[in-house]
Structure 1
Amino acid sequence: MLKYIYILLIAPLIFTGCVKSNQPTQVKDNTNLSKIVDSGAKEMLKQPLINSASIAIFYKEKEYIGHYGELEKGKNNKPSNSTIYEIGSLSKVLTGTLVANAVLEEKIDIEDNITKYLDGEYPNLSYSNQPIKVKNLLTHTSRLPNMLPLELNPILDNFLDYDTPLKINEVLKEYNKTKFLNDLHTIKIDAQLGKKYSYSSAGTELTAHILEQIYKTDYENILTNFLSKEIGMTNTKVNLNEEDSKELAVGYHVDNPKATLPMGKLPWGAGGGIKSTIPDMMSFIKYQLKNNMVVEESHKTLYKADSTTEIAYFWRADLADTKLGKYYFHHGGVPRSQCYIFIIPKHNLGAFIITNQSGTQTAKIMATTLDKIFEELLEIKN
Structure 2
Amino acid sequence: MMTKLTAVITVMMPMLAACKPAATAPAHDIPSAMKQAAATLLQSKLLHAASIAVVYRGKEFILHQGELETGKANPPNDTTLYEIGSVSKTFAGLLLANAVLDGNAALDDPVQKYLVGDYPNLEWQGQPVRLRHLVTHTSTMPGMLPSQVNAILKDFTAHATPAKLNSAYANYGQQQFWQDLHTVRINGPLGKDYAYSSAGTELIAHTLEKIYGMRYEDLLTQFIARKAGMHDTRLRLAAKDAGRLAPGYHSDNPVVTTPMPQLPWGAAGNLKSTMPDMAKYLRLQLGADPAVVESHKPLLRFQDDFSIGYFWNIGNNRQLGTHYVHHGGVPRAQSYAYVVPKYQLGVFIITNQSGDATAGAMESALAPVFDTVESMERAK
TM-score (norm 2): 0.93
- What is residue 177 of structure 1 aligned with on the other side? 174
Corresponding position of 1:350: 346
The question of whether the paired residues in 2 share the 8 Å contact of 1:56 and 1:278 is answered with yes
Q: What displacement does 1:92 show? A: 0.2
CA contact (8 A) 2:234 2:272 kept: yes
**Does the alignment pair 1:237 with 2:237?**
no
Runs of 4+ in 1 over 2 A off after TM superposition: 8-15
Query: Would the aligned equivalents of 2:82 and 2:274 in 1 still touch at CA under 8 Å?
Result: yes
1:58 Cα shift?
1.1
Aligned residue number for residue 219 of structure 2: 222
Identity %: 45
Please name the residue that 1:12 is paired with. Answer: 5
CA contact (8 A) 2:36 2:368 kept: no
* Deviation per residue, 1:272-309 (Å, 9 max, x gap): 11111100100010111113211110001111111211
The 1:31–1:379 alpha-carbon spacing in structure 2 relative to 1, beyond 3 Å, is closer
1:9, 1:271 within 8 Å by CA — same for their partners in 2? no
Alpha-carbon separation, structure 2, partners of 1:170 and 1:96: 29
CA distance, structure 2, for counterparts of residue 12 and residue 175 of structure 1: 23
Cα distance, 1:253 vs structure 2: 0.3
Q: Report the Cα distance in structure 1 between the residues aligned to 2:306 and 2:370, rounded to whole angstroms.
A: 20
Query: 1:95 maps to which residue?
Result: 92
Deviations 1:156-212 (A, max 9, x none): 001010000000010001100011011111111111100111000000011101111
Matched, 1:60 2:53: no
| CA deviation after TM superposition for structure 1 residue 72, in Å | 0.4
Aligned with 1:279 (options 256, 276, 280): 276
Once residues 198 and 331 of structure 1 are traced to their aligned partners in structure 2, the CA distance between those partners, rounded to angstroms, is: 15
Find the counterpart in structure 1 of residue 371 from structure 2. Answer: 375
For residues 248 and 11 of structure 1, what CA distance do their matches in structure 2 show?
26
Q: Distance in 2 between matches of 1:371 and 1:9?
A: 24
Q: Does 1:106 align with 2:99?
A: no
Q: What runs of 5+ residues in structure 1 fail to find an aligned partner?
A: 1-7, 16-29
The correspondence for 1:70, drawn from 59, 67, 79, is: 67
The CA deviation at 1:9 is: 4.0
Contact 1:141 1:198 in 2 (8 A): yes
Q: Whose relative contact order is higher, 1 or 2, with alpha carbons under 8 Å and at least 6 apart?
A: 2
Contact 1:34 1:64 in 2 (8 A): yes
Q: In the alignment, which residue of structure 1 is the partner of 2:245?
A: 248
8 Å CA contact retained: 1:9, 1:201: no
**Pairs within 5 Å for 1:294-305:** 294-305=291-302
Identify which of 243, 253, 258 aligns with 2:255. 258
The answer (yes or no) to whether the contact 2:2–2:153 under 8 Å persists in 1 is: no
Tell me if the contact between 1:54 and 1:68 (Cα under 8 Å) persists in the aligned partners: yes
Secondary structure class of the residue paired with 1:326: strand
Deviations 1:243-279 (A, max 9, x none): 1111000000011000001111000000011111100
1:324 aligns with: 320
Q: 1:355-366 to 2 correspondence within 5 Å?
A: 355-366=351-362
The 2-side partners of 1:71 and 1:370 are apart by: 20
Is 2:109 the partner of 1:116? Answer: no
Q: CA deviation at 1:106?
A: 1.0
Tell me the amino acid that sits aligned with residue 330 of structure 1: H
2:267 maps to which of 254, 258, 270: 270
- Higher mean C-alpha displacement, 124-133 vs 36-45: 36-45
The residue number in structure 1 matching 2:77 is 80
Distance 1:259 1:340 in 2: 22
Alpha-carbon distance in 2 for matches of 1:258, 1:216: 42
- Decide which moves more: 164-173 or 38-47: 38-47
1:335 is matched with which residue? Answer: 331
Q: Name 1:4's counterpart in structure 2.
A: none
The separation in 2 between residues aligned to 1:367 and 1:232, in whole angstroms, is 29
Going from structure 1 to structure 2, the CA distance change for 1:193 and 1:88 (only over 3 Å counts) comes to: same
SS of residue matched to 2:307: strand
Q: Does 1:130 align with 2:127?
A: yes
Partner of 2:172, secondary structure, is coil
Q: Give structure 2 stretches of 5+ with no counterpart.
A: 10-26
Q: What letter is aligned with 2:184?
A: I
- In the alignment, the residues of structure 2 paired with residue 100 and residue 40 of structure 1 have an alpha-carbon distance, to the nearest angstrom, of 33
Task: Using the TM superposition, give the Cα deviation of residue 372 of structure 1 relative to its aligned residue in structure 2, in angstroms.
Answer: 2.1
Q: Deviations over 1:78-133 (max 9, x none)?
A: 10000000011110001101101111111111110000000111111001100000
Deviation at 1:31, TM superposition (A): 7.6
SS at match of 2:55: strand
How far 1:62 moved relative to its partner? 1.8
Quote how far apart the aligned CAs of 1:377 are. Answer: 2.2
Number of residue equivalences: 360
TM-score, structure 1 normalization = 0.92
Query: CA contact under 8 A between 1:9 and 1:272: conserved in structure 2?
Result: no
Q: Is contact 1:165–1:261 with CA below 8 Å preserved after alignment?
A: yes
3-state SS in 2 of match to 1:327: strand
Report the residue type matching 1:79 in the other structure: P
